[in-house]
Structure 1
Amino acid sequence: MTISEITPDVDRARWLADADFADAFRITVEAPALDARMAAERMLGQAPAWMAALVKLRNLLVRPFGLKTSGADAQNPRPMIGMFPVVDETPQRIVLGFDDMHLDFRVVIDAASHGKTSQVTATTLVQTHNALGRIYLTIIMPFHRLVAKTMLRQVAASA
């Protein structure tokens, strides 16, 4: 089970046209009929304790700045996976994310079956809006890479 960092291969113009950050990671798992929703649910359904603790800490730290602590929106309710609203969905691709005052982000999860295996790719797109967004992105980047890889490992662990 190897996770590879790859060049992002999504239509940025469609999902986040002015993204100033993008990365992508890919894993191949022993699961012949894995679709994008199943992959997303495995990735985001049950966070390890250390990730849940990081999210709680993040929420405590950003609340005074008026930043969202979840993508849930009472005025515009959408289906959610974990704390992320579903933006778009097909069997092969699910797009999650939301917009906030400091940055907008999308997580694009692609799943492709190949015989007895499936390949899952998680692409992250971020568009910052101001200094707070750029500072926030800089602070979370070391954690982002670790979290993205851990989430992909959860797809393999539950396959």
Structure 2
Amino acid sequence: MKVQEVTPNVDTAVWLAGAQFADAFRIAVDGPLDARIAAQRMMGRSPRWVEALLSLRNALVAPFGLKTSGAGEKSAGGLIGLFPVLSETPERLVAGFDDHHLDFRVVVDVFTSGGGQQVTATTLVRTNNWLGRIYLAIILPFHRLVVRSLLRQVAA
């Protein structure tokens, strides 16, 4: 269950025009999975340490008027974890939302490779102001750990 950092392979102009940050991580899994199942395994539940970080984040950003979840968002595709589903095909699910400080998308791609499948999680971020730039700089080290951990849940 090795998670690899890979070059993002999504059209940022389509999913988040003007994105200033993009990264992607991939894991090999036994199938069969579609993108919704992979995203649910990835974001539907979190390890306790991730939940603790999210609770801390929510407590710290609430005074700034930042969203603490996507629960209030309208989305025809429903929610995956905290995130509204913006687009979905069997091979790709896009979730995320826009906020005052930054806008983000997570793109979950599933494709067949050899006898198994590959699941790639790509994160796109567009900062909207100085608060977004500071926020992104602070969370990046944690983001990389969290995404790797959540991708391992897809393979488990």
TM-score w.r.t. the length of structure 2 is: 0.96
Which consecutive unaligned segments of at least 5 residues does structure 1 have?
A: none
One-letter amino acid of the structure 1 residue matched with residue 125 of structure 2: V
CA distance in 1, matches of 2:23, 2:80: 21
CA distance in 2, matches of 1:77, 1:87: 7
Which consecutive unaligned segments of at least 5 residues does structure 2 have?
A: none
1:11 equivalent in alignment to 2:11: yes
Q: CA deviation at 1:108?
A: 0.2
What residue in structure 1 maps to residue 123 of structure 2? 124
Q: CA deviation at 1:4?
A: 1.0
Contact 2:75-2:86 within 8 A present in 1 as well: no
SS of corresponding position for 2:122: strand
One-letter amino acid of the structure 1 residue matched with residue 25 of structure 2: F
The 4+ residue runs of structure 1 with deviation greater than 6 A are: none
One-letter amino acid of the structure 2 residue matched with residue 11 of structure 1: D
Q: CA RMSD in A?
A: 1.1
What residue in structure 1 maps to residue 150 of structure 2? 151
SS of corresponding position for 1:151: helix
Cα deviations by residue, 1:71-93 (Å, 9 ceiling, x for unpaired): 1226x354000000001000000
What residue in structure 2 maps to residue 62 of structure 1? 61
Contact 2:75-2:85 within 8 A present in 1 as well: no
CA distance in 2, matches of 1:154, 1:59: 23
Q: Percent identity?
A: 64
